[in-house]
Chains A and B, each alone.
Chain A
């Protein structure tokens, strides 16, 4: 260390150190209880709690009474495994409470910790159970996480006020605290009006991660109630109710493009107007009106595009043999939109068909400034493997990866209100036999990429020429450029995570084998047994790591890959706008020239040619006006598209992060199960 430390001693600020130590020590301290009393000292004054209660103290509570961890929660976990996060919530908030009482009763710790703890524990609970308007929820929730004591006191008052809107305070307490029986009775006699209902429903959607039962009850309620509501939303709540498994809830969120369950306001609107196809109409016509609209209007309008269209790509199947083989996918659509002939239909499509669709769409819509979602790239290597290899796991992975990518691609296409109206899209989804897309067949992977990149190249050339007048575009173009760079970096890091996780999985497997061997050599029977059990646990954990690696990849890495491609498409739109600008400028120049010609003719006094020149000027004047209008139109479209894109992106990311958290949640659940099963084995060593 000699030389290097002299050169650059790590300049760590002093203030950070205690925290650092705390963290790394925590494990070891866990069993002593000393750190707890330490932690406690500031807490008697509950107005000055640590900044983030969910951060440190809670962990400590968990860390502390081990006996607790082993005995009580274990039971809970076992009984509630099927819906991990819902049980989590209960566990989460009740655990600390239990632990807490333990901590307090132990002699070394005398500070009134429960004060601090009860607050967050209660707060989220009441939040969940109470039924205030959703935007209030959001605000309160923030309080809970950032400023515990204040938030909780406030939240209880908000809760009262809010619950008064729907039921009386007591009723509500009953409703959730007591048995489901009570719940089913209560709301029914009250004959809930539509509003109450939508309110309730919206809450149900949010709640599942916290409590299971209410979800059921209310969804059921929604079904039996005669309140008028669109078939779309009722069907969604039905799925919630029946399988109460929140998996459904969230998969719904990913697959369903339109419903977006939590959009309460919209729900209400829908509930009022029974026509399902109604929302589509304004969207379709919106593009032409767009230029005259303000940003707010655009955003407002955006939330209107409700439609009900479910697309899935399934059953990849190898057709044919050898190098002529190809993969065919089942494209299933489920919709209530009237533009389609039936509610459900299925077609078989091959990869080149998807590419063909993209080509047709970009030919038509790119010039108007639409962001046409790009399909996954061709992969000669991957496909060759599929063609040649038989049961290779890597080719299975490739096929699954492509299938998922194609599904996301189609979902993005149909979620675009204008692209959905395109006859080619409809044809792609509906028509039994599609004419072979000849041109795409010739498109090699490289050629295809070239096609995608052509636009971007042109942009860089033109940026120099174009003197950007619009500040919004000026900034946005730079932002998109930056974002693409960041996403690429991020993608590399997530890929490294995937690889390291796979490595971890492999190393865990190897370790499991080695421990099994050690166990077989051990001459103490109980220890030998424990070691071979440990080997089994590690084997299972290896599986978990493997699954998590797949989750890292499909929910996170692929999302980034998609957005890197999509940002390319956004850049393509900017390019189209610049092209329009260029055309307008060229026309301006031409007009200028024509005017000069006219002036020369006037000066030279050649009236015979003057008329022709005048005609040409008129012609170019018209062209300039037209091109200018076109430029304005495309600018407006691109702007609207980018705003829409940004929103979709935020939503996509959130959805995926939520999904990712769920996968982590699941694996933690499994981990707890495995280790808790192992604990008695370790204790049996004697």
Chain B
């Protein structure tokens, strides 16, 4: 399956290979449920993914199938999982962010506006940049959706989730609609309540040192990684700007060459070629940095938020437990509704214990997963950086060789200049 990207009647198609992945999730290499997104279609700002599943699990009807899914359906899946009480003790894989085509859209706008005032070369260059950016966003979007599903499929509990299996198997539209304003506000309100609640329950004394440490760590780490992620984003963006500048320089050299009638013309064309090459290479460096580093930091910013959410749910259970203890004490003191309070207290304690237990497991495996992912991505990024630097070194060397050679040829015999 060779990756291809093509455009037809205003829509973009992307076929990917399962190998294009920025964040690794493969903690268990279980082949009983393998999911990938082999291709996607982008229409305006809507992206339709083809979700492909291969499985040996008996809970599915067929061993291999594909269904079309949209971003909203991914969000629906995430939300149903979040709302499932049973999963409160698990780190719920972060939902994929909404496809953001703001960058390429802006460029497209500029392209449309400036078409009349641009030279042919400049227009071609702009188009090239737009293409590259569009493709990059598209690919990133596909990846991050794929990763979400893979996180679920590699988790021993989530993979058995009914909704998840429906999501994978049901070949019709899940008729999930976009959230309306009220629901959006509801979500916003829920978040407000949650953060207020977080403040409230922060007073509850922690009983488990493990969680106390985790809480301190995650709070600190979360702010640090958020910052690093933003800074990496800025860095890669300015790297892209440098690549774009190379592109413009190449275009300007070409238009200078177009108006030149001397032997210098050929030189200028060559120089334009040099800068075109530099652009290509610099662009690759920037996009690989983005893919391996920025995406990693971004993903773990979200994942750490998911871990923090787990801590919140546990802290809530802890507070509930505390309250139920108090209620039981009160009931005993008053000698009223003791049985009910006891029952309540028992349930709360049970829930809290269960949450603590699975939370501990989840957080430990989260740590391992994080270290593995960082290792993998840092190695890959470093290897790519080395590779790109070597290619650039090679290019520079080849051109350097070419130009210095040409130097010796041209001066010996005037007129030779034209031949280089």
Residues of A that sit less than 8 Å from B by CB: 1-2, 4-10, 12, 14, 17-18, 20-21, 23-32, 34-35, 38, 54, 58-59, 62-63, 66, 69-70, 73, 84-85, 88-89, 91-92, 95, 124, 134-135, 137-139, 141-142, 145, 202, 205-206, 209-210, 260, 262-266, 299-300, 302-303, 475, 479, 482-483, 486-487, 489-490, 493-494, 496-497, 500-501, 503-504, 507-508, 510-511, 513-515, 517-518, 521-524, 526-527, 530, 534, 646, 649-650, 653-654, 657-658, 661-662, 664-665, 668-669, 671-672, 675-676, 678-679, 682-683, 685-686
> Is the Cβ of A4 less than 8 Å from the Cβ of B108?
yes
Residues of B within 8 A of A266 (CB): 411
> Is the Cβ of B253 less than 8 Å from the Cβ of A514?
no
Interface residues on chain B, number (Cβ under 8 Å): 115
User: Which B386-420 residues sit within 8 Å CB-CB of chain A?
Assistant: 386-417, 419-420
Residues of B that sit less than 8 Å from A by CB: 2-7, 10, 17, 19-21, 44-45, 101, 104-105, 108-109, 111-112, 127, 130-132, 134-136, 139, 217, 220-221, 224-225, 227-228, 231-232, 234-235, 237-239, 241-242, 244-246, 248-249, 252-253, 255-256, 259-264, 267-268, 271, 274, 278, 280, 284, 287-288, 291, 367, 370-371, 374-375, 378-380, 382-417, 419-420
Please tell me which one of the listed residues A262, A490, A526, A534 contacts residue B253 in the complex, with CB atoms under 8 A apart. Answer: A490
Knowing A206-B408, A650-B267, A654-B267, the reply to whether A500 touches B136 (Cβ < 8 A) is no
How many interface contacts (CB-CB < 8 Å) are there between A and B?
347
Interface secondary structure of B, over-half rule: helix
| Interchain Cβ contacts under 8 Å between A and B, 29 examples | A1-B101, A4-B112, A10-B7, A17-B6, A24-B135, A24-B287, A28-B21, A69-B383, A95-B390, A137-B405, A138-B408, A145-B398, A202-B408, A209-B404, A263-B411, A483-B256, A500-B241, A500-B245, A507-B235, A515-B228, A517-B228, A518-B224, A521-B224, A658-B407, A662-B396, A664-B278, A664-B396, A679-B386, A685-B371
Chain B residue, CB-CB nearest to A655: B407
> Is the Cβ of A300 less than 8 Å from the Cβ of B414?
yes
> Is the Cβ of A685 less than 8 Å from the Cβ of B375?
yes
Chain B residue, CB-CB nearest to A139: B419
Report the separation of the CA atoms of residues A10 and B10 in the bound assembly, to the nearest whole angstrom. Answer: 8
CB distance from B283 to the nearest CB of A (A): 8
CB distance from B278 to the nearest CB of A (A): 8
> Is the Cβ of B271 less than 8 Å from the Cβ of A653?
yes
> Is the Cβ of A511 less than 8 Å from the Cβ of B3?
no
> Is the Cβ of B252 less than 8 Å from the Cβ of A493?
yes
Chain A residue, CB-CB nearest to B286: A504
Residues of A within 8 A of B261 (CB): 475, 479
Chain B residue, CB-CB nearest to A300: B414
CB distance from B103 to the nearest CB of A (A): 11
Report the separation of the CA atoms of residues A612 and B382 in the bound assembly, to the nearest whole angstrom. Answer: 93
CB distance from B68 to the nearest CB of A (A): 20
CB distance from A105 to the nearest CB of B (A): 20
Residues of B within 8 A of A206 (CB): 404-405, 407-408
Residues of A within 8 A of B220 (CB): 521
CB distance from A453 to the nearest CB of B (A): 23
Please tell me which one of the listed residues A20, A70, A508 contacts residue B135 in the complex, with CB atoms under 8 A apart. Answer: A20
Since A59-B391, A206-B404 are in contact, a sample of 20 more A-B pairs with Cβ atoms closer than 8 Å, ordered by chain A residue number, is A8-B112, A10-B108, A17-B4, A20-B131, A20-B132, A24-B135, A62-B390, A89-B401, A134-B409, A138-B408, A209-B404, A510-B235, A522-B221, A649-B264, A650-B417, A658-B400, A665-B393, A668-B393, A682-B378, A685-B375
Knowing A89-B397, A92-B397, A265-B412, the reply to whether A511 touches B232 (Cβ < 8 A) is yes
What 10 A-B pairs come out closest when comparing CB atoms?
Answer: A138-B409, A262-B408, A497-B245, A486-B256, A263-B411, A685-B375, A668-B393, A682-B378, A504-B238, A27-B288
Knowing A4-B105, A141-B405, A264-B411, the reply to whether A92 touches B394 (Cβ < 8 A) is yes
> Is the Cβ of A134 less than 8 Å from the Cβ of B400?
no
Residues of A within 8 A of B132 (CB): 20, 24
Residues of B within 8 A of A141 (CB): 401-402, 405-406
> Is the Cβ of A62 less than 8 Å from the Cβ of B391?
yes
> Is the Cβ of A487 less than 8 Å from the Cβ of B390?
no
Report the separation of the CA atoms of residues A686 and B401 in the bound assembly, to the nearest whole angstrom. Answer: 44
Please tell me which one of the listed residues B383, B388, B401 contacts residue A210 in the complex, with CB atoms under 8 A apart. Answer: B401
Knowing A29-B19, A137-B405, A490-B249, the reply to whether A62 touches B387 (Cβ < 8 A) is yes
Report the separation of the CA atoms of residues A436 and B17 in the bound assembly, to the nearest whole angstrom. Answer: 74
Residues of A within 8 A of B395 (CB): 54
Question: Interface centre among A482, A487, A661, by most B CB within 10 Å?
Answer: A661
> Is the Cβ of B228 less than 8 Å from the Cβ of A518?
yes
CB distance from B363 to the nearest CB of A (A): 12
Residues of B within 8 A of A84 (CB): 393
Knowing A138-B416, A671-B389, the reply to whether A483 touches B235 (Cβ < 8 A) is no
> Is the Cβ of B414 less than 8 Å from the Cβ of A510?
no
Residues of B within 8 A of A521 (CB): 217, 220-221, 224
CB distance from A502 to the nearest CB of B (A): 9
CB distance from B328 to the nearest CB of A (A): 37
Question: Interface centre among B136, B278, B396, by most A CB within 10 Å?
Answer: B396
Chain A residue, CB-CB nearest to B126: A10
> Is the Cβ of A483 less than 8 Å from the Cβ of B392?
no
Chain A residue, CB-CB nearest to B385: A675
> Is the Cβ of A654 less than 8 Å from the Cβ of B239?
no
Please tell me which one of the listed residues A59, A486, A683 contacts residue B252 in the complex, with CB atoms under 8 A apart. Answer: A486
Report the separation of the CA atoms of residues A134 and B407 in the bound assembly, to the nearest whole angstrom. Answer: 10
Please tell me which one of the listed residues A85, A135, A302, A496 contacts residue B413 in the complex, with CB atoms under 8 A apart. Answer: A135
Knowing A482-B259, A649-B264, the reply to whether A209 touches B397 (Cβ < 8 A) is yes
Residues of B within 8 A of A501 (CB): 242
Chain A residue, CB-CB nearest to B234: A507
> Is the Cβ of B20 less than 8 Å from the Cβ of A25?
yes
Report the separation of the CA atoms of residues A205 and B408 in the bound assembly, to the nearest whole angstrom. Answer: 8
> Is the Cβ of A646 less than 8 Å from the Cβ of B225?
no
Please tell me which one of the listed residues B7, B235, B260, B374 contacts residue A527 in the complex, with CB atoms under 8 A apart. Answer: B374
> Is the Cβ of B231 less than 8 Å from the Cβ of A12?
no
